[in-house]
Amino acid sequence: MQNSDSKIECIIDGVMARMHNGTLRAGDRLRSIREEATVMGVSKNTVVEAYLRLVARGVVVARPGSGYYVSRTSTRKKSPALPSIPGAVRPTELLTEQLERRLPIRPGDGRLPPDWLESNEMRRPISVIRMNADDTYNTAWGLLPLRERLCGTLAERGIQCQPNQVLTTYGGNHGMDLVIRCYVRPGDAVLVDDPGYYPLFWKLGVAGARIVGVRRRHDGPDLEDLSEKARLTGARLFFTQSLAHNPTGGSITQGIAYGVMKIAEEHDMLLVEDDPFADILPYTAPRLAALDQLNRVIYIGSFSKTLPGSVRVGYIAAAPELAQELNEMKVISIVSTSAQNERLVHSLIEGAQYLKYLRRLHDRIHEATAETVRCLENIGYSVPRPLGGGYYVWIQLTPSMQQRDLVAEAAQTGIFIAPSGAFTTSDAPALGMRVNVAYGSDPRFIEWLATLSQ
């Protein structure tokens, strides 16, 4: 369910997209307030507010008694039209588009809309804490009060550890960087989920690793494939995201988790468990780190998925000797993380603002997921169950739907989709599409998607 600001932005994005693709030209009249309200399924007041914002931006002019028109000067000031944007075909383009946000309709985005992560109850505490924070260097391991608090959080997830087993990072990606720098050498075979997290593939490629994909099912890694790949490659490292998997949206079951641990023990592998959505998932969800108690599991957590993007704070929990090695690499590579950001996160947790915010965010994601699934199933796409509770669902495409063409076609209409080729290590990408639930029920995306199966 969208709030009023999101509905207003949808209308604004729609007008901008029609201007970019040439449907609306300088001097053209916008749909009447009544027509736009009917098309978008919103109130007339919502349309009025959206049109007024477009007027304030100089994009639209209001003519009393006549309506709203595209400004004759706005098109001369705009960047190139959408047809010049091919969409995110390559993995690098996928990440670039998420940063630059050129396309207005964003079911392929990996993040939530910015306004979802900036609630009123969080905005003021963040500004006050930042204003009062000093700029001294952090300790090598990270802010001790935060690390102590994280030990309590991990205990609630069934993972027992001490502060000397926890080091802070600049988010989950930085945690992966440290693991790769410490334990991957050129030519090493490294196992990964396939489909899986595409920035991890880049990092491993830069390190010179032989990246070996392990078939990922909705309920976790394919145990037969994992066992076979571990045996054939001699890999000593397996990166996996157990819960709310990116991109498939599924979560590991208890039985599969036990199977993964058994295979890791048989082949003496380290497991790197990425858990970026942990704060909005049940404490009791199956986690490899809880089964193993950080013996051969390196656990990576992050606040970067649930707090605004400027707050880059994450952490690694591992066996004491591994944590020591990882922290030494952290000091060598970046000296220390941000004390200011870590004080901010610690203060939000201790003051209970973060907990209240997470409850609202969880409910909002749950509602958006239900609406996205309903819309997708109404046009004939099936969504695997059970739902993982994160930001994504995965829909199957048919072999006739050429993925590269889809990306470009979608971009022509202002839609950003994530190509499945970005999420795989093979030359034959999985025939699927990751859909961000915050954007997945957008009528313009659903209408476009419905045409693919016709």
Look at 409 and 254; give whichever has higher pLDDT. Answer: 254
Size of the chain in residues? 454
Is the pLDDT assigned to residue 23 strictly greater than 50?
yes
- CA 366 – CA 60 distance, rounded (Å): 36
Interstrand relation of 297-302 and 270-274 (parallel, antiparallel or unpaired): parallel
- CA 246 – CA 190 distance, rounded (Å): 18
Look at 336 and 75; give whichever has higher pLDDT. Answer: 336
Number of CB atoms found within 10 A of residue 341's CB: 24
Q: How confident is the model at residue 93 (pLDDT cuts 50, 70, 90)?
A: low
| Cβ–Cβ < 8 Å for 88, 416 | yes
Which range (69-78, 112-121, 301-310) has the least confidence? 69-78
- What would the mean pLDDT of 6-18 be, rounded to a whole number? 87
Coil, strand or helix at 434: strand
Which DSSP string do the residues of 141-175 spell out, in sequence order? S--HHHHHHHHHHHHHTT----GGGEEEESSHHHH
Look at 120 and 250; give whichever has higher pLDDT. Answer: 250
Encoded tokens for 419: 């190509």
Q: Nearest-CA neighbor of 189 among 156, 152, 229?
A: 229
Position 400 scores a pLDDT of 74
Position 285 scores a pLDDT of 97
Is the pLDDT assigned to residue 128 strictly greater than 70?
no
Percentage of the chain surpassing pLDDT 90? 64
- CA atoms within 13 Å, Cβ hemisphere of 218: 15
Is the pLDDT assigned to residue 332 strictly greater than 80?
yes
pTM, entire model: 0.80
Position 78 scores a pLDDT of 43
Position 120 scores a pLDDT of 60
Domains of the chain: 1-70 (1.10.10.10), 91-116+356-453 (3.90.1150.10), 120-130+138-353 (3.40.640.10)
pLDDT digits (tens, 9 = 90+) for 425-443: 987 766 789 999 999 999 9
The amino acid present at 361, given as its one-letter code, is L
- What would the mean pLDDT of 6-23 be, rounded to a whole number? 86
List Cα–Cα distances, 290 to 160, 273, 318, in angstroms.
8, 11, 12
- What would the mean pLDDT of 333-338 be, rounded to a whole number? 92
- Mind spelling out the 3-state secondary structure of 41-88? CCCHHHHHHHHHHHHHCCCEEEECCCEEEECCCHHHHCCCCHHHCCCC
H or E element in which residue 6 lies: helix 4-20
Q: Nearest-CA neighbor of 274 among 310, 249, 306, 245?
A: 245
Position 81 scores a pLDDT of 42
Q: How confident is the model at residue 77 (pLDDT cuts 50, 70, 90)?
A: very low
pLDDT digits (tens, 9 = 90+) for 245-256: 999 999 999 999
User: Considering the chain, what is the average pLDDT of its residues?
Assistant: 89
Which range (145-149, 161-165, 406-410) has the least confidence? 406-410
**Each residue of 258-276: b (16+ CB within 10 Å) or e?**
ebbbebbeebebbbbbbbb
Position 79 scores a pLDDT of 41
- CA 303 – CA 205 distance, rounded (Å): 26
pLDDT digits (tens, 9 = 90+) for 153-206: 999 999 999 999 999 999 999 999 999 999 999 999 999 999 999 999 999 999
Q: Which of 350-354, 396-400, 426-430 has the highest mean pLDDT?
A: 350-354
Q: DSSP state, 195?
A: S
| Cβ–Cβ < 8 Å for 317, 158 | no
Q: How confident is the model at residue 353 (pLDDT cuts 50, 70, 90)?
A: confident
Encoded tokens for 177: 């960087």
Q: How confident is the model at residue 223 (pLDDT cuts 50, 70, 90)?
A: very high
